[in-house]
């Protein structure tokens, strides 16, 4: 993404690796999920009995979001606590009484952390940050904390399970993201080939211009 730091890119890569180690098999970074926006790392999968997050004796679909924060300022930008959550609850209650189904958009004023709770699409939500950037007391409700250090990623606070999720919607978004990455990779590869061909042509043209025409000896009259 434009303006992204190397640390944030590293965190996203490590988040995807961590999701894979945890057993998720449908994984992507920078997944666009309207109305939440872009989630840094997303994992989805079906977990075996007793090997799922709740340790229940049945197959359990799980969706996990990981938001990567390279600095405290980055964390605070998505951590809104200015009364908008209470306003959203009141609006939802009013719509419920009126029997109106109206989607609550992030534009209402919520930061991404609270918006993920008001628009439930994942069962688990984690913040991934370098060690010491985010403290347990800073976490939004139900979110867990992953710490990144020299030893890799460690779980500092386990996320609370959220029953409501939309695995099919999330997996479709992951598929769109991965497909877009493939096309962009093809474009980059083609551009690279074109640059190589152009360089070869330029080198050939330079070599041709450097060749001086051979001077032929004049023919004698005896021949």
- Note down the domain range covering 70: 6-179
Provide the number of structural domains found in the chain. 1
Residue 25 lies in a domain: yes
Residue of higher predicted confidence among 184 and 150: 150
Q: Residue 53: pLDDT band by 50, 70, 90 thresholds?
A: very high
Mean pLDDT across the stretch 57-79?
92
The tens digit of pLDDT for each residue in 165-222 reads: 999 999 999 999 998 887 787 777 777 777 777 788 888 888 877 876 665 566 666 6
Model pLDDT, residue 105: 46
pLDDT of residue 29 exceeding 60, the answer is yes
Q: Is residue 79 part of a domain?
A: yes
- Alpha helices of 29-166 — where are they, by DSSP H? 72-77, 84-97, 112-118
| β-bridge pairing 144-149 and 37-47 | unpaired
d(CA 178, CA 30): 10
Position 120 in a domain: yes
Given a cut of 50, whether residue 89 has pLDDT beyond it is no
Percent of the chain with pLDDT over 90: 52
The answer to whether residue 115 sits within a structural domain is yes
pLDDT for res 192: 75
SS3 percent helix, strand, coil of the chain, rounded to 5, is 40, 20, 35
| Residue 17 located in a structural domain | yes
For residue 160, pLDDT over 60 is answered with yes
In a domain, 206, yes or no: no
Q: Is the residue at 194 inside a domain? A: no
Q: Could you tell me if residue 149 is inside a domain? A: yes
Check residue 8 and give its pLDDT: 94
For residue 111, the model assigns a pLDDT of 76
Give me the mean pLDDT over the 113-124 stretch. Answer: 88
What CA–CA distance (Å, rounded) separates 69 from 73? 9
Mention every residue, 6+ apart, whose C-beta is less than 8 A from residue 127: 66, 67, 69, 75, 113, 134, 139, 143, 144, 145, 146
**Helix or strand run (H / E) with residue 149:** strand 144-149
């Amino acid at each position: 993404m434009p303006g992204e730091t190397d640390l944030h890119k590293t965190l996203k890569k490590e988040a995807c690796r961590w999701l894979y180690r945890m057993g998720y098999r449908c994984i992507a970074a920078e997944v666009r999920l309207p109305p939440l926006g872009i989630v840094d790392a997303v994992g989805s999968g079906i977990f075996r009995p007793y090997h799922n997050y709740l340790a229940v004796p049945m197959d359990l679909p799980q969706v996990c979001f990981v938001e990567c924060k390279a600095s405290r300022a980055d964390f605070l930008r998505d951590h809104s606590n200015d009364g908008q959550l209470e306003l959203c609850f009141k609006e939802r209650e009013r719509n419920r009484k009126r029997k109106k189904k109206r989607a609550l958009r992030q534009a209402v004023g919520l930061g991404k952390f609270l918006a993920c709770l008001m628009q439930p699409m994942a069962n688990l939500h984690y913040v991934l940050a370098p060690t010491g950037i985010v403290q347990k007391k800073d976490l939004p409700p139900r979110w867990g904390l992953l710490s990144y250090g020299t030893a890799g990623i460690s779980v500092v606070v386990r996320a609370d399970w959220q029953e409501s999720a939309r695995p099919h919607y999330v997996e479709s978004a992951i598929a769109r993201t991965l497909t877009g990455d493939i096309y962009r990779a093809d474009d980059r590869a083609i551009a690279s080939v074109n640059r190589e061909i152009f360089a070869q042509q330029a080198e050939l043209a330079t070599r041709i211009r450097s060749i001086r025409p051979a001077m032929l000896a004049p023919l004698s009259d005896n021949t």
